[in-house]
Structure 1
Amino acid sequence: MNRSIASGVVSVVSAKVVVLVVTALSTPLLYRFLGASAFGEYAFLLSVFAIYMIFVSSGVTDGVRKFLAEDRAAANWSEHVVGFYFRLAVSLAVLGALVLVVATRFGIVSLVFGSELTTYFYVLAALVVSAQFRDYARKTLMGFGLERYSEPLKVLDKLGFVAVAIPLTYVGVGVMGALAGHVFASVLVAAVGLVLVHRRVPLSCVFTKPSARFPRKEMFAFNSMSIALIFLLMSLYHIDIVMLHRFRTDAAVGNYRAALTLAEFLWFVPMAIQTVFVHSTSELWSQNRYGKISALASRTTRYTFLLTAVMAVGLAALANVAVPIYFGTEAEPAITPLLLLLPGALGFALARPILAVSQGEGTLRYPVVATGGAALINLVLNVALIPRYGMQGAAVATSVGYGSMFVFHCWSARLVGFDPLDDARIGRSVLTTVLAAVPIVALSTAITNPWLALAVVPPVGFAIFVAFALLIGALDPAEPFEVLSAFPDPIGSTADVIASRIAGAGSDGSTRNWLQVLLFVAGLSLLVSGLALGVLDPGV
């Protein structure tokens, strides 16, 4: 991963870490203030809204991000792209909001979803417009490579939502208060984002029409395929919620949404990579650098596997402790669905960067087919399992659908023209995960104090996992420092020096031998210390 792309990933990851922390603090508060049933209603409404916004927003946001990143020689290319997609965003937002208002006013929403939810759809109509310009502004900045601006806007969006939604739900406004938080935050982000876009490209370009040579047909074709792709992706995210709302109580939907929230925490780094790769690899594709693309994709697949796997193992080991502490004892039914969702969440995490590289190429036929295959599996299994098994059935169906994404998109990638498994070391990564899971789970089981387990298991488990990854060869000794070298100084420069020294010292093959000895000694010392302090039971 070159430094420019890596720095973009670091910018996105940094913002996602902040968003993750804010989400981690606010979600259990929302769950408690709303209650399981109202939280289920809220989750259902957001799922319906997300599916609806596919047809309003996805062609605009993916298109402006991709075509701005392309290095084209046409005069005023950036201005024409920004103006074209702004006009399209306005048209679709107005049309989308009107359709929602008309459907609500004439009873269609009541007929389909029930009269108790009707009022909420008027708020969702307002959210259609504000969310459209929020996303347009952010994705336009990303198309310019300005993640240092677009990602803080995502933080602002989350903070704005929390600042309004949490107080309103606390005083009893309920679901309407949570939706009001989304409207306020999206309006705020849209306003700030459009000002930042205007500084880069004057928004007066909206009134300037490009020449006949402007590739409108190419853009509309990409938009259409992008809408199909996002629709299939969103079905993977939301069909289980929609079907659970049909066959089970709102409390079941709320607890299942709680399980999904924890499982989706695994995606924050893969989603950051996916966000940056769409426009970053678009430039590589335009330069025909196929070898570079395969090397980048396969190495990213390996890093994603290792990072997501250690998080999944830790979350599985601490599920019985984390869920009641995080959401409250009312959410204990979410533990089993969470455990069932984790394998699929890992597979989906691996598919995300691969899909982004394919999107960067621009020909979306194979990614759409691959995603469609996973979506079909997900739909069939949800239809078969949810009526009989409820939350557990939804978790199994969704996990299988998520996991199949990795298989299908590896096939798609090779048809597109790159190999995401070239240096992925999947076998070594799987072996690392299996071997590391044993002591991590044993450690979490041995520690009976839940707060002590939450404090000890994550850092110790991470150290154990990295040790196994280095010993087995899933990770080279210099690679962690190569990744850190993309961070701002002094971290970046220091890590770069260390990576160079390790690479130089390892040229004679001695580094790995010494590293194995040191890691064995460290692991043995950790075990002895745990036994001596009474943290570990000798019987374990």
Structure 2
Amino acid sequence: MNRSITSGVVSVVSAKIAALVVTALSTPLLYRFLGASAYGEYALLLSVFAIYMIFVSSGITDGVRKFLAEDRTAANWSEHVVGFYFRLAILLAGLGALLLVLATRFGLVGLAFGSELTIYFYVLAALVITAQFRDFGRKTLMGFGLERYSEPLKVLDKVGFVAVAIPLTYLGVGVMGALAGHLFASLLVGVVGLLLVHRRISLSSVFSSPTERFPRTEMLTFNSMSIALIFLMMSLYHIDIIMLNRFRADSAVGNYKAALTIAEFLWFVPMAIQTVFVHSTSELWSQNRYQKISELVSRTTRYTFLLTAVMAVGLAALANVAVPIYFGAEAKPAITPLLLLLPGALGFAIARPILAVSQGEGTLRYPVIATGGAALVNLVLNLALIPPFGMRGAAVATSIGYGSMFVFHCWSARLVGFDPLADARLSRAALTTLLAAVPIVALSTAITNPWIALAVVPPVGFGIFITFALLVGAIDIAEPFEILSLFPDPIGAKADGISDWLVSRETDGAGRNWLQSLLFLAGLSLLLSGLAFGILDPGI
């Protein structure tokens, strides 16, 4: 991973952490102010809107950031790309909003979702327009490599939503108040984003016509394939909620959405990597640097597995404590679906960077087939399991669907032309997860005070996990510092020096006593297991 890609990932991760903090603080308030039933209605509306916006927006946003990032010598390439996609964005936003209004006005929405939800779709029609320009502005900035501008806009979107939605729902406005928050935030971010784009490329380019050699057909083909890809992927996110709404009460949908929200916290780093890799690896593909791509994605796969796995183990260990504290006692039914969703969420996390690199190549045939396979697995299992088992059936079906994404996209990657497993060390990463899970779960079980458990288990568990990862060779001791060395100075320079020193120490044979470390961790595991099962008195 070179420094430019790293800086992009750092910008995206930093913004996602900030957005995650805002979301983490606001979601339980929104759940409490709306109640489980109204929160279920809100979740259903967002799921329907997300799927609808695929046809309005996804081809545009993926296309503009891919083609802006490509190293092409055509005159005024950037201006023509921005103009082409801006015209398309305006056309599809207007058409999308009009169709939604007509479907609502003539009763199609009421027939599909019930008359009590009809009024909300008029707000969603307005949101189609504001969300279109919000996403166009952000993704255009990303295509220029300006993540330092595009990512703070995502934080602004979250803050703007919270500033309006939380007070309105607290005052009893309900779902309409939450939708008003989205409308205000997307309008604000859309205006700011387009102004930032205008500073780089004049939006008057919308009126300029490119030459006959401009690759309109290539772009439209990519758009159509991108729409198919995003539709299939978004079906993995939302089909379970939509189907669960047909067979269970709104409160069940609300609690299941709460479980999904927590499980999806695992994705914030993989999603940041995916976001940057689409346009960053487009340049590598255009330069035919296939070996570099394989090295980059296989190492990223390994890091993604380890980072997501330690978070999944921590969430599983603390689920009984964290869910009632976070959402309230009403959300206790969400605990079991959360535990069932975590394995699949881990698989989907690992698949994300692999998918992004395939998208960067530009030929989306195999990624679409791979995602379609996972979507089909997800659909069939949800149809089979939701009617008899409700939330638990949805969680099992979705978890398997999520996990199959990794398998299908490893197959797709090899056909596209790179090897995502060259240095992934999956068996060692899986062994690390299994070994570390025992003392981490034992520790969380031993600590009976929930607040102490939340304070102690994450840092101690992370330390245990990293130690096991080093012991089994899932990561080398110098690797964390190799990653930090790519950061801007002074962090990069100092980390580079430490990395060189560690490599030389290992080369000279002056290292750690692995047997002693293994015995120590075995003793720690036995101690924590003894505490968990009451053999020893924890004294806490």
Matches within 5 A, 1:496-535: 496-511=496-511, 513-514=512-513, 516=514, 519=517, 523=521
Distance 1:528 1:294 in 2: 40
Deviation at 1:508, TM superposition (A): 2.8
Deviation at 1:487, TM superposition (A): 3.6
The aligned counterpart of 1:174 is 174
Of stretches 476-485 and 440-449 in structure 1, the one that deviates more from structure 2 is 476-485
Deviation at 1:112, TM superposition (A): 1.0
For structure 2, list consecutive stretches of 5 or more residues without a partner in the other structure.
Answer: none
Deviation at 1:108, TM superposition (A): 1.0
Matches within 5 A, 1:119-518: 119-511=119-511, 513-514=512-513, 516=514
The aligned counterpart of 1:538 is 536
Contact 1:10 1:486 in 2 (8 A): no
Alpha carbons of structure 1 residues 204 and 518: separation in structure 2 relative to 1, 3 Å: farther
Contact 1:83 1:207 in 2 (8 A): yes
The aligned counterpart of 2:38 is 38
Distance 1:313 1:524 in 2: 18
Of stretches 524-533 and 129-138 in structure 1, the one that deviates more from structure 2 is 524-533
Alpha carbons of structure 1 residues 217 and 169: separation in structure 2 relative to 1, 3 Å: same
Contact 2:298 2:424 in 1 (8 A): yes
Deviations 1:480-502 (A, max 9, x none): 11222334444333222211211
Distance 1:520 1:278 in 2: 40
SS of the equivalent of 1:47 reads helix
Contact 1:301 1:420 in 2 (8 A): yes
Matches within 5 A, 1:89-128: 89-128=89-128
Residue type matched to 2:226 in 1? S
Residue type matched to 2:461 in 1? G
The aligned counterpart of 1:11 is 11
Deviations 1:24-65 (A, max 9, x none): 100000000000000000000000000000000000000001
Contact 1:137 1:193 in 2 (8 A): yes
Deviation at 1:530, TM superposition (A): 7.9
Alpha carbons of structure 1 residues 533 and 539: separation in structure 2 relative to 1, 3 Å: closer
Deviations 1:200-226 (A, max 9, x none): 111111110101100000000000000
| Runs of 4+, deviation exceeding 4 Å | 517-537
Residue type matched to 2:318 in 1? L
TM-score (norm 1): 0.97
Contact 1:447 1:535 in 2 (8 A): no
SS of the equivalent of 1:27 reads helix
Deviation at 1:524, TM superposition (A): 7.8
Residue type matched to 2:387 in 1? P
SS of the equivalent of 2:460 reads helix
The aligned counterpart of 1:26 is 26
Distance 1:376 1:467 in 2: 39
Distance 2:441 2:488 in 1: 35
Deviation at 1:509, TM superposition (A): 3.7
Deviation at 1:519, TM superposition (A): 4.5
Distance 1:524 1:407 in 2: 33
Alpha carbons of structure 1 residues 354 and 531: separation in structure 2 relative to 1, 3 Å: closer
TM-score (norm 2): 0.97
Residue type matched to 1:142 in 2? M
Distance 1:280 1:78 in 2: 16
Of stretches 259-268 and 104-113 in structure 1, the one that deviates more from structure 2 is 104-113
SS of the equivalent of 2:172 reads coil
SS of the equivalent of 1:343 reads helix
The aligned counterpart of 2:88 is 88
Q: How many residues align?
A: 538
Deviations 1:240-290 (A, max 9, x none): 000011000000000000000000000000000000000000000000000
Distance 1:228 1:333 in 2: 34
Alpha carbons of structure 1 residues 215 and 531: separation in structure 2 relative to 1, 3 Å: closer
Distance 1:279 1:147 in 2: 11
Residue type matched to 1:138 in 2? R
Deviations 1:406-447 (A, max 9, x none): 000000000000000000000000000000000000000000
The aligned counterpart of 2:66 is 66
Distance 1:352 1:82 in 2: 26
Alpha carbons of structure 1 residues 533 and 401: separation in structure 2 relative to 1, 3 Å: closer
Let me know the Cα RMSD of the aligned residues. 1.9
Contact 1:443 1:536 in 2 (8 A): no
Deviations 1:368-427 (A, max 9, x none): 000000000000000000011000000000000000000000000000000000000000
SS of the equivalent of 2:145 reads coil
Contact 1:298 1:419 in 2 (8 A): yes
Deviations 1:300-348 (A, max 9, x none): 0000000000000000000000000000000000000000000000000
Contact 2:442 2:532 in 1 (8 A): no
Contact 2:438 2:529 in 1 (8 A): no
Residue type matched to 1:178 in 2? A
Residue type matched to 1:97 in 2? A
Deviation at 1:503, TM superposition (A): 1.7
Contact 2:61 2:135 in 1 (8 A): yes
Of stretches 486-495 and 198-207 in structure 1, the one that deviates more from structure 2 is 486-495
Deviation at 1:520, TM superposition (A): 5.1
Distance 2:481 2:516 in 1: 18
Contact 2:3 2:487 in 1 (8 A): no
